[in-house]
Structure 1
Amino acid sequence: MIPIKPIFTAKAVEKNKPDLSQLPQNVATQYLAPGNLNLSQLPPLSLYIHFPWCVKKCPYCDFNSHEVRNGFDETAYLDALRADLEAALPLIWGRKIYTIFIGGGTPSLMSAAGLDRLLSDVRTLLPLDGAAEITMEANPGTFEAEKFRSYRQSGINRLSIGIQSFNSRHLAALGRIHNGDEARRAIEIAQANFDNFNLDLMFALPGQTMEEVQLDVETAISFAPPHLSLYHLTLEPNTYFAKFPPAIPDDDLSAEMQELIHTRMAAAGYGNYEVSAYAQPKRASRHNLNYWNFGDYLGIGAGAHSKISFPHRVIRQARYKQPKAYMDATASGNSVQESFEIQPDEMGFEFMLNALRLQDGFGVNLFQERTGMLLNSIETELLAAEKKGLLYRDHQTISATPLGKLFLNDLQQIFLKSA
């Protein structure tokens, strides 16, 4: 096992450590006071920006997305995003942003001028790392070559393209607005403008065969994307598919599909660094790695979530979900609908829910660095997981065993302390 190294070296952390003494007084009083945790350093910080609109709501989608029926007020939403970010600045005072992810919905519905304004506002208000990874999600049904050239010029340096399948029949069953030819054309436009991009694919689709899965994977590999995300279709609550479930492959066939994908991706030189993520060497998503390593992220936009650390506590926030409610709340000076502190008895589960998704595990020191708690605070749970054969650890690394990866939910649940 190769231990996961911290994203920062100790020297870099010290150099970029925020001056907490300069926090506004109201924030310092609330978050710097003695608490239950003791973080020796703050984690890396990412920015997530949510764009809530899409052309059509997909029947499997449980994300905060809303169909564009009569258009949307781009200027008003960009105004709200800026106001939201300005109001959140005291919580991240002096901290540098290392990655940005613009997700949705369908962010590629934004005009070129709107995206340029958004990134300009971010640069004005936040210190960005010189090598910041800036990703934007894009739907193949919204690709226009000129607009995507403009996106690149504005600062987007990585695309995440929601292909899902190259099979037009499956795309129709998934409610996608593009077909197989448009999927291929979108990738060609991405290749012409970006040297870093991800393709999202789904498998275990309604009526899908092994041969069709293999053809989707081979087609994706033929474009040599630096990164591929391959997701099992799940019937999430509160979706159309949950109410009217389609006939999807059974567990045995789904497992065969997953094994085929894993074998073929490895043969093509892609490392499976996280449950659903495959990347060429050194092309893993830095934004996603920050999530899995229990880093911090500020989320702005309708329904966006945040996790922000302070020396003695870690908080989570959620913005108002409905776009109008979010914009109204932001105009009133508070876009945050919910804010709470992660309690010590919840911290082990929160950390493991993320870090155990990493295929190579994580370094033993990372738990204390990111939670402010000693590793022995979850010793009982670690021993229980080891006893069941779900977890491996040595003096350097903690990781799920092959059995633990097959039963990841069961492994993670071990760390959920009962009230």
Structure 2
Amino acid sequence: MSASNTIITDRVRHTTAGFELPPLAMYIHIPWCVKKCPYCDFNSHAAAPTLPEEEYVDALLADLDADLAHVHGRPLSSIFFGGGTPSLFSAKALGRLLEGVERRIRFAPDIEITLEANPGTFEQAKFSAYRQLGINRLSIGVQSFQSAKLAALGRIHDGDEAIRAADMARAAGFDNFNLDLMHGLPDQSIDDALSDLRTAIAQKPTHLSWYQLTLEPNTVFWNQPPTLPEDDTLWDIQESGQTLLAEHGYAQYEVSAYAQPGKAARHNLNYWTFGDFIGIGAGAHAKTSSPDGIISRSWKTRLPKDYLNPGKQFTAGHRVLEPDELPFEFLMNVLRLTEGAASEMFTRRTGLPLSLLASARQEAEKRGLLKAEPNRLVATREGQLFLNDLLQQFLP
């Protein structure tokens, strides 16, 4: 028996007891934007005047055909169109894609289908057509409502367009939408940040993603860093903003996610509870499980021109997660949630006994990073603030 077979045999033996196939979601990547923002490290590319919609939809469906073995009879609980800017695609193209997906995989009756959109791409008729397709949630990339901040971020819209986008979302029939908002922007004061947040709240979104700008490698900002607020200012923005959000009924359920009651993003909750997701599109990632407990991650060809090349393989890489990696992989996700997860979910999602966490768990509790709750795995307030320190306890 080869070494690789031994690993797989051990994995099956370790992961069959108590393991359950998790819910299944789908991520669809549309890699084009009007222009690349200087802070963005996502797989996005400036769009030509005409997008290859038909060819890309054909490639997405062929990509999905190659991944159908990972479905194992499960319905799709959610679909997320991310990018890039998926709202650059026409309703006709997205409709053909959704029809093709549903022919291949059954949709759950209450499926959540989210489309990312930028204010500069909003057209009332287009978004009404999206809603008629069954897309029932929008995520609008506002980032700021202030002209100077938007210019510094390289955004193509202004504050008025961002407000109109929220108005048009409601008019198109979207009663569930997220606003994506950043803080810690170049030269931003506490008053600037809270003004943005108040303006966002006034649009009455059901969900707010509110997170700090970070400088990522391979971006313009990484190579030409702007002047960002001092750490004390960042801390004050975070504290004041969380208080303001709570006062308006937005409960923090994840590190940077706030929602009205019952409106947490189901697609992201699936990620954070170590659910499965198929990823199709240029550069898309996936996490999938088999009934015998083998858990894998995979990723697709990154460049659109390569993804559209019929001679290329869609999958660029694939890796089986070994048993000693699973505690970290699982906790890296669930500990982002303010309520964490039930302890028994660890075994259901990984097939490993909870006792494997005992020593590291005890140390994390002693350091005040993990709550001493036997039936839940949940970070303390300090543990969420210093999540990397907490996760270090569970590295293999």
Shared fold by TM > 0.5? yes
Give, in whole Å, the separation in 1 of the partners of 2:148 and 2:100: 41
Task: Give the 5 Å matches for 1:46-65.
Answer: 46-65=25-44
| Same amino acid, percent of matched pairs | 52
Task: Give the 5 Å matches for 1:182-331.
Answer: 182-193=161-172, 194-310=174-290, 311-328=292-309, 331=310
Shift of 1:383: 1.6
* 1:179-230 superposed Cα distances (whole Å, 9 cap, x missing partner): 1111111111011120100000000000111111111111111111100000
Give, in whole Å, the separation in 2 of the partners of 1:393 and 1:116: 48
Shift of 1:399: 0.8
The answer on 1:155 being equivalent to 2:134 is yes
Q: CA RMSD in A?
A: 1.5
Q: Which amino acid aligns with 1:166?
A: F
The answer on 1:98 being equivalent to 2:80 is no
Aligned equivalent of 1:27: none
Shift of 1:40: 3.0
Aligned equivalent of 2:157: 178
Give, in whole Å, the separation in 2 of the partners of 1:399 and 1:333: 43
Give, in whole Å, the separation in 2 of the partners of 1:173 and 1:104: 21
Contact 1:87/1:333, CA 8 A, preserved across alignment: no
The answer on 1:350 being equivalent to 2:329 is yes
Shift of 1:393: 3.0
Contact 2:19/2:293, CA 8 A, preserved across alignment: no
Unaligned runs of 5+ in 2: 1-7
Give, in whole Å, the separation in 2 of the partners of 1:415 and 1:71: 48
After superposing the two structures, state which structure 1 stretch, 396-405 or 353-362, moved more. 396-405
| Count of aligned residue pairs for this structure pair | 386
Aligned equivalent of 1:128: 107
After superposing the two structures, state which structure 1 stretch, 380-389 or 228-237, moved more. 380-389
Contact 1:36/1:313, CA 8 A, preserved across alignment: no
Give, in whole Å, the separation in 1 of the partners of 2:247 and 2:79: 31
Shift of 1:356: 0.4
Shift of 1:334: 3.1
Contact 1:390/1:403, CA 8 A, preserved across alignment: yes
The runs of 4+ residues in structure 1 deviating greater than 6 Å are none
Give, in whole Å, the separation in 1 of the partners of 2:183 and 2:83: 21
Shift of 1:93: 3.1
Give, in whole Å, the separation in 2 of the partners of 1:388 and 1:290: 29
After superposing the two structures, state which structure 1 stretch, 54-63 or 383-392, moved more. 383-392
Q: Which amino acid aligns with 2:89?
A: M
Shift of 1:333: 7.1
**Secondary structure of 1:400 counterpart:** coil
TM-score by length of 1: 0.90
Contact 1:35/1:313, CA 8 A, preserved across alignment: no
Match of 2:117 among 138, 143, 153: 138
Contact 2:298/2:318, CA 8 A, preserved across alignment: yes
Aligned equivalent of 2:5: none
Match of 1:72 among 48, 51, 58: 51
Shift of 1:123: 1.1
Unaligned runs of 5+ in 1: 1-29
* 1:278-306 superposed Cα distances (whole Å, 9 cap, x missing partner): 00001100001011101010000000000
Q: Which amino acid aligns with 2:75?
A: K
Give, in whole Å, the separation in 2 of the partners of 1:336 and 1:379: 37
Shift of 1:406: 1.6
Q: Which amino acid aligns with 1:385?
A: A
Give, in whole Å, the separation in 1 of the partners of 2:13 and 2:56: 36
Contact 2:197/2:241, CA 8 A, preserved across alignment: yes
Q: Which amino acid aligns with 1:412?
A: L
TM-score by length of 2: 0.95
Shift of 1:258: 0.5
